[in-house]
C-alpha cells in the first residue's frame, strides 16, 4: 500500500521522527495501528451499549410510565 502526504505533513512527520529518534515510517505505522485499534474498541463499545439498551427494552425497564 502506498500513501501520499502533503509536503507540509511530511515535513512535520520528519521533524517529529528526528525529535524522537525514530523512523518516519515507524511513526506512521504506529499511528495507523493506534487508530485502527481505537476504532475497533469504540465499535465494540457501541455494540455493547446497543445490546444493553435492547435488553433493557425487552425487560420493560426502558418503558415510560
Taking only the tens place, the pLDDT of each residue in 33-45 is 999 999 999 999 9
Q: Looking at residue 42, what is its pLDDT?
A: 98
Q: Name residues whose C-beta falls within 8 Å of residue 14's C-beta, 6 or more positions apart in sequence.
A: 24
What distance lies between CA 4 and its chain's CA centroid?
A: 20
The CA distances from residue 48 to 13, 41, 44, 55, 63, in Å, are 36, 11, 6, 10, 20
Mean pLDDT of 26-51: 96
pLDDT of 62 above 60: no
Residue 42 corresponds to which cell in the numbers above?
A: 469504540
Amino acid at each position: 500500500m502506498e500513501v501520499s502526504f502533503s509536503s507540509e505533513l511530511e515535513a512535520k512527520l520528519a521533524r517529529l521522527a528526528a525529535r524522537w529518534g525514530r523512523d518516519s515510517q515507524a511513526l506512521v505505522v504506529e499511528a495507523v495501528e493506534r487508530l485502527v485499534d481505537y476504532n475497533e474498541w469504540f465499535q465494540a463499545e457501541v455494540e455493547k451499549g446497543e445490546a444493553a439498551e435492547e435488553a433493557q427494552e425487552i425487560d420493560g425497564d426502558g418503558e415510560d410510565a
